[in-house]
């Protein structure tokens, strides 16, 4: 794929944009081998009950089951690598006056690929926190209590280690969310890649950008609720289209 395959008005927009905001979702890690949530057949929520594995109630009901599931996902992520889409976004950042990367992903692949200042709306799966106090639990402590599923918390007698991710019914980190909405409201172009746009408040960001006058580009093999406000929809994988965008910028 080269930039000749991109619509010429999109190429023009990329070259003239000063502030770019990007919203990514599970689809950008699909080509790293990490399953998405809502794809039929292969999506995690097609096989598992999200309320059992990704809610405070589910954790209270069976902390061992939830811990084991996150340990399985951590292992999968540890054995996988960022793909060309992640690297392209890190590369693109240097070509704009403002470039804010907002992700719903908890895998940390954007940072591994070299992106800085990533706004992680849903936390990061590699960290663990106390279920009662939400204080960070150091890896050393977790290693010393690795036989427990989950390990106890050093911060609270009734606390347990849990992943530092946002579960259904929980609030997103406030400062991160504020920064994401500011970026959406101030950008010239918003790129939305690999998200079904089914989970709020992240799904509102492209709409805020559009209402504030930004142009919106969607990248997804499927059409989503976001496609209808996107001026351009690049149908296909992020690992193909994001490098094509980066090549436009490096040839500018």
Q: What residues are paired with 130 via a beta bridge?
A: 161
Least distance from C-beta 144 to ligand OAD, angstroms?
28
**Identity of the residue, 26 or 205, whose beta carbon is nearer to ligand OAD in the bound complex:** 26
CA–CA gap between residue 212 and residue 156 (Å, rounded): 45
**Identity of the residue, 12 or 33, whose beta carbon is nearer to ligand OAD in the bound complex:** 33
Q: How far is CA 11 from the centre of its chain?
A: 25
CA–CA gap between residue 80 and residue 109 (Å, rounded): 9
User: Can 122 be counted among the known catalytic residues?
Assistant: yes
**Identity of the residue, 20 or 121, whose beta carbon is nearer to ligand OAD in the bound complex:** 121
CA–CA gap between residue 200 and residue 195 (Å, rounded): 12
Distances (CA, A) of 42 to 35, 36, 48, 69: 6, 7, 11, 16
Per DSSP, 152 falls in state B
Least distance from C-beta 25 to ligand OAD, angstroms?
3
Q: What angle do CA 137, 140, 145 make, to 5 degrees?
A: 85
Least distance from C-beta 123 to ligand OAD, angstroms?
8
Give residues with Cβ within 8 angstroms of 206, minimum separation 6.
23, 184, 190, 192, 197, 216, 218, 226, 229, 230
Least distance from C-beta 160 to ligand OAD, angstroms?
19
**Identity of the residue, 242 or 248, whose beta carbon is nearer to ligand OAD in the bound complex:** 242
Least distance from C-beta 30 to ligand OAD, angstroms?
4
CA–CA gap between residue 35 and residue 32 (Å, rounded): 9
Q: Any idea of the CA torsion for 229, 202, 32, 138, to the nearest 10 degrees?
A: 170
> Which parts of this chain interact with ligand OAD (CB under 6 A)?
25-28, 30-31, 36-39, 43, 50, 54, 104, 122, 166, 193-196, 198-199, 219-222, 224, 237-238
Set 3, 86, 110, 122: catalytic member: 122
**Identity of the residue, 12 or 59, whose beta carbon is nearer to ligand OAD in the bound complex:** 59
Q: Looking at the annotation, which residues are catalytic?
A: 122
């Amino acid at each position: 794929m080269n930039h000749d395959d991109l619509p010429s008005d999109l190429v023009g927009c990329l070259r003239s944009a000063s502030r770019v905001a990007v919203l990514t979702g599970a689809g950008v890690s699909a080509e790293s081998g990490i399953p998405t949530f809502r794809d039929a057949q292969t999506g995690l929520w097609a096989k598992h009950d999200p309320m059992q594995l990704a809610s405070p109630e589910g954790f209270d009901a069976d902390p061992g089951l939830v811990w084991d599931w996150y340990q399985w996902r951590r292992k999968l992520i540890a054995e996988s690598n960022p793909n060309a889409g992640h690297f392209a976004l890190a590369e693109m950042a240097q070509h704009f006056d403002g470039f804010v990367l907002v992700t719903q992903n908890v895998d940390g692949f954007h940072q591994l690929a070299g992106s800085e200042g990533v706004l992680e709306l849903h936390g990061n799966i590699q960290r663990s926190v106390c279920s009662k106090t939400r204080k960070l639990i150091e890896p050393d402590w977790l290693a010393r209590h690795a036989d427990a599923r989950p390990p106890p918390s050093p911060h609270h007698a009734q606390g347990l280690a849990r992943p530092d991710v946002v579960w259904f019914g929980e609030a997103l980190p406030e400062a991160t969310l504020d920064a994401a909405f500011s970026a959406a409201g101030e950008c010239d172009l918003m790129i939305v890649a690999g998200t079904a746009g089914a989970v709020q408040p992240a799904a509102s960001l492209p709409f805020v950008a559009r209402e504030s006058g930004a142009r919106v580009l969607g990248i997804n093999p499927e059409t989503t609720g976001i496609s209808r406000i996107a001026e351009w929809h690049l149908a296909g994988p992020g690992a193909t289209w994001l490098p094509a965008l980066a090549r436009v910028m490096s040839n500018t």
